[in-house]
Structure 1
Amino acid sequence: MNTITVPTYDHVSPANQAIFDSMKKKFGFVPNLFATFAHSETALATYLMLNNSKSSLSPKAREVINLVVSQVNDCAYCLAAHTAVGSMLGYTPEQILEIRGGGVSFDPRLDALARLVRNIALERGHADQALVQAFFAVGWTEANLVDAIVAIGDKMTTNFLHSTTLVPVDFPAAPPLNS
């Protein structure tokens, strides 16, 4: 059961209506989770500024973060959405499942990123310093570390929003992760 409703175009502020118009042009629809932000006059625009901000991380690296954090938080909405995005970025279904599990055997740099991100998410920011050093050892920088933490916060926001509101998932469901 949903905790709150998904607002429609006619029931949001003019500023949020403009954002909905832009999303419809970009995606063909307004994803329910983004629409849920529009209950607030400012949250949708604020969140999108964070989500679309510049980063030292590539889109593929940011997607690793999105998938790992969403798996840690067991967010059905974000797992579904980011499985679709990961596929668009060139990850295979098998690679997406592996990333969600917190490891990346096909790329040592992404593996160090995934392992560190999983640890940060599980330990609420109290990272295992051996994983931080392994992250740096494969060529990531201090800027990458800071940007990874910002991306974790971004994903935690959407994971928490969905887990609290239970708005309907409007992407194909992500396959279960085999234990």
Structure 2
Amino acid sequence: MTVFPVHSAGSAPQQSQQPLDELRQRVGFIPNLAATMAEAPTTMDGFNQLQRALAHSTITAAEREVVGVTVSVANRCPYSVAAHSAFAARAGVSPEVIAALRAGKDDLPEEKAAALSAFTKALLRSGGLVDRAEIDALLGHGYSPAQVLEVITQAVYTTMANWVANATGAPLDDALAAHAWTA
């Protein structure tokens, strides 16, 4: 047996069962990543709460997924690149933007997506020590100061998922297989 089991709703620790069920209702299935996180109820609950909060942010689902793919590529996380690519497609991100993000390109075919990705890369590269010009560049594309903070929250959430997926080797779900990616 692996060190990190992929739980079912029934095999997960009791405190993880409700967050897993909430996630299943939102996403339509229980992703293997969450089923792996369920081993630690604190981790599962934190992941679920951040996801729920981000669903109410003022940046769109598509914008959150641009950040998600950017972070996942930077963290070399095959599981999360596949997941965020699938969710980006579902949220209406163009195939051209998704392909460019997956390739780690800086030059994206859509200006706002390019601005989000550039800010996210600067955030990751600097450990959050972005300079005022990088913030101003995002603000200059119509984002508010609150939305800059929401982008940071999305990057944190995605990094958490990346690190868990990379550390545990959570297997890619069949539902995400069409978006498989290798670093």
State the TM-score, normalizing by the size of structure 1.
0.86
* Identical amino acids, percent of aligned pairs: 27
State the TM-score, normalizing by the size of structure 2.
0.84
Q: How many residues align?
A: 177
Cα distance between partner residues in 2 of 1:146 and 1:24 = 27
Which of 124, 130, 154 lines up with 1:121 in the alignment?
Answer: 124
Q: 1:16: how far off?
A: 2.4
1:11 match: secondary structure: coil
RMSD of aligned residue pairs (Cα, Å): 2.3
Cα distance between partner residues in 2 of 1:106 and 1:63 = 16
Gaps of 5+ in 2: none
Gaps of 5+ in 1: none
Structure 2 residue 34 is the aligned partner of structure 1 residue 20: no
Cα distance between partner residues in 2 of 1:15 and 1:109 = 40
Match of 1:8 in 2: 8
1:64 match: secondary structure: helix
Any conservation in 1 of the 2:67–2:155 contact (CA below 8 Å)? yes
Structure 1 residues 127, 5: CA separation in 2 closer, same or farther (over 3 Å shift)?
A: same
Alignment deviations for residues 19-61 of structure 1 (CA, whole Å, 9 cap, x no partner): 4344445544311101111111232122111112121211111
Cα distance between partner residues in 2 of 1:44 and 1:163 = 16
Amino acid at match of 2:138: F
Deviates more, 1:77-86 or 1:2-11: 2-11
Amino acid at match of 1:159: N
Which of 157, 177, 180 lines up with 1:174 in the alignment?
Answer: 180
Specify which structure has the bigger relative contact order, considering alpha-carbon pairs within 8 angstroms and separated by 6 or more residues. 1
